[in-house]
A and B are shown apart, each in its own frame.
Chain A
């Protein structure tokens, strides 16, 4: 066997090992949820708790299947995803630009930052009556609300990231005569990416939380509306099905962001990058 072949063989061996390790970890992580579902099932079928208080897991699953087969889930979910997505995109874009500016320009920071911190103390949902007044009960007010709450974590982390870039690296830029935009793209932005991704993850989590609230308060579609519908019509299994859908949405978007982060930040020399 040539050296190269040995090297490849070794690598695929490592790959199998890594796969096994990941499966093992997945198995460990599933022990607790599986036990909870089993206990839930046993309690529900025992009849000691009435079904209107605790639906059976299978009934919840049944609801999920029914929602998918009628196309109802797809319709409500796409509405919810659009709301979360558009609001998130708006909030994150504004936060990125403002965060970079306030992080980089001290004068600008002194003008803008105190006001933003003051606004941050207003609970996001407290804005919702005014937003409904200004933007109507339709989609715009929901975009605005989600944009607002996703703004703050990204803004704060971006600003802290840019303002906290190691002076020594900035000096490297200066002796190499980087200025303005070039200093920004070569040094300040890459250096602040780790904290930027922290902000993105926090914002995405908040986006889903506020989405439910917004849809509970006034909507005729969306998973939050479906959940409210389940409550109004006394179908706890539907409510729990919606809760599971929200959990999946939150988890999937979080995994997506952390996967992107792991690849973009592969240069980091840290313990357990991306865990």
Chain B
């Protein structure tokens, strides 16, 4: 269960976010959509501990979130692999506190999960974009986080790879990660993956819509209920009049 209360982030005089309150926990995947520049990435960076909160509090399962923690993992828009380190060392980066054997075991398991075990000794430059992003996902999953943050994880991929990754993400992540927060500007992506979607507008970022998505998974992008939800979100963002014109 993650909750944020009266969250505010300002950069000097510019308020990027908030006050913003929400909580989620019963839903597996919470999608956060909104136009670019609305402050949704700021939200993710606050939860990840990459930016200091100006005001407000966050809690994960009752523990206050005040900085980077091992049970909150991030997948960035770009793979962000360390180019000098092998795939194995990249995935094991956050497990420095574990003894070698345990680390190896966890890394191997994570690599099998993203189907890249055979590339454990490869360097990032030898990987395709989709493979590199899977290494990024393995690096986030390796410590079995309680909350997984995805920051437009497939935006840098080509359209075909993107659809494939969207379809496989939930298989890869599985139920081991109780909560996933997906930031995206791709409404279809949010609809394919999320159990609930909050629509942000801003800056400063604020919640303008909170929608439960009760469609069975895997979801068909072309189905009528799917398209109805898509229209609902688009109307929220742009207004019905603009869409008609």
Contact = CB atoms under 8 A, between A and B. Distances in A.
Given A168-B78, A267-B125, A176 B83 contact: no
Contacts of A169: 80, 82
B50 A186 contact: no
Interface string B40-77: 00000000111000000000000000001110111010
Interface of A is mostly: helix
B155 interface: no
Which interface class (under 10, 10 to 19, 20 to 34, 35 or more) fits A? 20 to 34
Contact of B84 (A171, A173, A174, A190): A190
A269 interface: yes
B14 interface: no
Contact of A174 (B49, B85, B124): B49
Contact of A176 (B78, B85, B94): B94
Contacts of A269: 83, 124-125
B131 interface: no
A182 B92 CA distance: 14
Contacts of A272: none
A168 B125 CA distance: 17
Closest 4 CB pairs of A and B: A176-B94, A269-B125, A267-B84, A190-B84
A176 B93 contact: yes
A122 B109 CA distance: 58
B11 interface: no
Contacts of B80: 168-169, 171-172
Between B73, B93, B139, the greatest number of chain A beta carbons within 10 A of the residue's beta carbon is seen for B93
Contact of A177 (B70, B78, B124): B70
B120 interface: no
Given A168-B78, A172-B82, A175-B74, A186 B68 contact: no
A187 interface: yes
Contacts of B165: none
A174 B76 CA distance: 13
Contacts of B124: 267, 269
A182 B82 contact: no
A268 interface: yes
B68 A175 contact: yes
A168 B124 CA distance: 16
Contact of B82 (A190, A193, A266): A190
A113 B73 CA distance: 37
Contacts of A187: 82
A209 interface: no
Interface string B86-130: 000000011010000000000000000000000000011100000
A101 interface: no
A191 B124 CA distance: 14
Contacts of B69: 177
Contacts of A267: 83-85, 123-125
A186 B125 CA distance: 18
A175 B48 contact: yes
A177 B74 CA distance: 12
26 contacts: A173-B93, A174-B50, A175-B50, A175-B68, A175-B73, A175-B74, A176-B96, A176-B139, A177-B68, A177-B69, A178-B93, A178-B96, A182-B96, A186-B82, A187-B82, A190-B82, A190-B84, A191-B82, A193-B84, A266-B123, A267-B83, A267-B84, A267-B123, A267-B125, A269-B124, A269-B125
A193 B82 CA distance: 13
Contact of A172 (B93, B96, B123, B125): B93
Contacts of A266: 123
A268 B83 contact: yes
Interface in B187-235: none
Contacts of A182: 96
Interface string A150-166: 00000000000000000
Contacts of A268: 83, 125
B50 A171 contact: yes
A209 B173 CA distance: 60
Contacts of B70: 177
Contacts of B48: 175
A208 to B, nearest CB: 30
A168 B78 CA distance: 9
A117 B123 CA distance: 38
Given A169-B80, A267-B125, A174 B68 contact: yes
A183 to B, nearest CB: 11
Nearest to B140: A175
